C-alpha cells in the first residue's frame, strides 16, 4: 500500500480508503470480514456518515480491539451547533471510541449554508470545541458543488475536502490543484461514478495519476472488490493508449443525463427508489444485462411509472438532472 500525508494534518492515509456507504447493504459478519481484508491489504482509512444508517455502528463493532489500526472519518448534515454536538456524540458512541480522526461538514450546498455553519452558533463551532477536547482530530468539508468548495478552501477553516472525481466527473481538477497548493487534503468520492463504472482498476488508476488527489474512497461490499481496488496500488506506469481509449469510451457513454447515485433526490414521496431506477436502466442499456435488470426492476413495488411529477426530486438534485424526463425514459426502456 502507498500512503500520503492528508493535507496539513499529521495523518498518513492509504491512497485507497474504505467508503462506508455499501456497509448498509451487508451484515455485521460480512463487515468484519471486509475490514479485516482491507487491513491486510494496507487500507487504514474508513469514511462513514451519520446519514449512512447502520454504517457507523457496524464499523464500531467490527473495529473493537483494532481501533488504533484505523483512521476514522465521519460526517454530519447538522448545520447548527446543538445538532452537531448531538450528532458527534452519536458518532463517538457508534464507533465505540473516544475520538474520531476526521469529522466533516456533510454536503454543504451553497455559500449561504457555508455562512450558516461558520456562524457563531453554527455547526463548525461545535467541531472546534470537540477538537479542543480531543474528541476529533481534524475538520473537513464535503460537497457536490465546485463553486462552494472553491470558497470554502480559501477560508482557512478546513483541512480536507471531499468531492466526486472519476472518469466521467473530472471537472474539479482546478479545484483540487488549488487545494493541494493550500496543503488541504483531497478525498475523491464516487470513484466508480456511483457504481456505473465497472472497471475498478482503470477507474482508480485514472484518479491516482492526479498528484493533487490524496486518496480515493471506493465503497466496497465484497472481498473481491477489496482485492480489485487495492490491486492497482504500486502501478506506476503511465496510462497506455489502450487505457486512454477505454477511458474516453466510458466517458462518452456516461456523460450527459447521468445519475451519480448520490441519493440526495430522496426520499421520494411516492417511495420510488429513484437511483435504482436509473441503475437498472443502465444495466440493461449499457451492459446488455436485460433479463437480470428486468427481474430486479420489476421486483420493486414502486417504479418509474408511479412518478407523479411533483418535481421535489429535481429541486434537491445537486447535478440539476431532469429526473422526471429521465424516469419517462426508464419506462420506455422497460416498456412500462
Place of cell 476514522: 72
293-302, long-range: CB within 8 Å, 24+ apart, which pairs? Answer: 294/334, 297/334, 298/334, 300/273, 300/276, 302/270, 302/271, 302/272, 302/273
Phi and psi angles of residue 104, each rounded to the nearest 5 degrees, phi first: -120, 145
Q: Is the pLDDT of residue 287 over 60?
A: no
Tell whether domain 3-238 is in CATH 3.40.50.1010: no
How confident is the model at residue 35, as a pLDDT?
Answer: 96
How confident is the model at residue 320, as a pLDDT?
Answer: 86
Question: pLDDT (tens digit, 9 = 90+) per residue, 160-201?
Answer: 999 999 998 888 999 999 999 999 999 999 898 877 788 889
Domain boundaries defined on the chain:
3-238, 274-333
Place of cell 477505454: 246
How confident is the model at residue 285, as a pLDDT?
Answer: 80
Place of cell 481496488: 229
Q: Percent of the chain beyond pLDDT 90?
A: 72
Closest CA to 56 of 36, 42, 76, 39: 76
Give the other-Cβ count within 10 Å of 203's Cβ.
24
Q: How far apart are CA 251 and CA 216, in angstroms?
A: 19
At 296, the pLDDT band (50, 70, 90 cuts) reads confident
Q: How far apart are CA 168 and CA 255, in angstroms?
A: 6
| DSSP-assigned letter for residue 21 | S
**Which of 102-106, 223-227, 265-269 is least confident?**
265-269
Q: What angle do CA 225, 333, 283 make, to 5 degrees?
A: 10
Q: How far apart are CA 213 and CA 243, in angstroms?
A: 20
At 288, the pLDDT band (50, 70, 90 cuts) reads low
The pLDDT of 270-283, averaged and rounded, is 88
Q: Is the pLDDT of residue 283 over 80?
A: no
324 near 314, Cβ under 8 Å?
yes
Q: Is the pLDDT of residue 126 over 80?
A: yes
Amino acid at each position: 500500500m502507498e500512503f500520503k500525508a492528508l493535507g496539513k494534518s499529521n495523518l498518513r492515509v492509504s491512497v485507497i480508503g474504505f467508503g462506508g456507504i455499501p456497509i448498509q447493504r451487508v451484515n455485521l459478519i460480512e463487515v468484519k470480514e471486509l475490514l479485516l481484508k482491507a487491513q491486510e491489504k494496507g487500507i487504514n482509512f474508513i469514511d462513514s456518515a451519520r446519514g449512512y444508517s447502520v454504517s457507523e455502528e457496524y464499523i464500531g463493532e467490527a473495529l473493537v480491539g483494532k481501533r488504533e489500526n484505523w483512521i476514522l472519518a465521519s460526517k454530519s448534515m447538522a448545520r447548527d451547533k446543538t445538532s452537531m454536538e448531538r450528532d458527534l456524540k452519536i458518532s463517538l458512541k457508534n464507533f465505540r471510541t473516544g475520538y474520531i480522526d476526521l469529522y466533516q461538514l456533510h454536503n454543504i450546498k451553497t455559500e449561504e449554508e457555508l455562512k450558516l455553519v461558520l456562524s457563531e452558533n453554527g455547526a463548525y463551532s461545535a467541531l472546534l470545541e470537540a477538537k479542543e477536547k480531543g474528541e476529533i482530530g481534524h475538520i473537513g468539508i464535503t460537497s457536490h458543488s465546485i463553486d462552494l468548495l472553491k470558497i470554502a478552501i480559501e477560508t482557512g477553516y478546513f483541512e480536507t475536502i471531499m468531492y466526486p472525481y472519476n472518469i466521467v466527473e473530472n471537472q474539479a481538477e482546478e479545484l483540487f490543484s488549488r487545494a493541494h497548493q493550500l496543503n488541504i487534503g483531497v478525498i475523491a468520492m464516487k470513484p466508480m461514478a456511483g457504481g456505473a463504472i465497472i472497471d475498478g482498476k482503470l477507474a482508480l488508476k485514472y484518479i491516482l495519476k492526479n498528484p493533487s488527489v490524496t486518496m480515493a474512497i471506493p465503497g466496497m461490499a465484497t472481498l473481491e472488490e477489496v482485492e480489485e481496488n487495492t490491486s492497482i496500488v504500486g502501478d506506476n506506469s503511465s496510462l497506455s493508449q489502450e487505457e486512454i481509449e477505454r477511458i474516453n469510451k466510458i466517458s462518452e457513454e456516461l456523460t450527459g443525463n447521468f445519475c451519480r447515485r448520490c441519493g440526495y433526490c430522496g426520499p421520494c414521496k411516492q417511495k420510488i427508489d429513484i437511483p435504482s431506477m436509473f441503475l437498472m436502466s443502465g444495466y440493461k442499456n449499457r451492459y446488455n444485462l436485460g433479463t437480470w435488470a428486468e427481474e430486479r426492476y420489476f421486483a420493486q413495488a414502486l417504479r418509474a411509472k408511479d412518478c407523479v411529477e411533483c418535481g421535489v426530486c429535481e429541486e434537491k438534485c445537486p447535478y440539476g438532472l431532469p429526473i422526471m424526463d429521465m424516469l419517462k425514459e426508464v419506462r420506455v426502456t422497460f416498456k412500462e
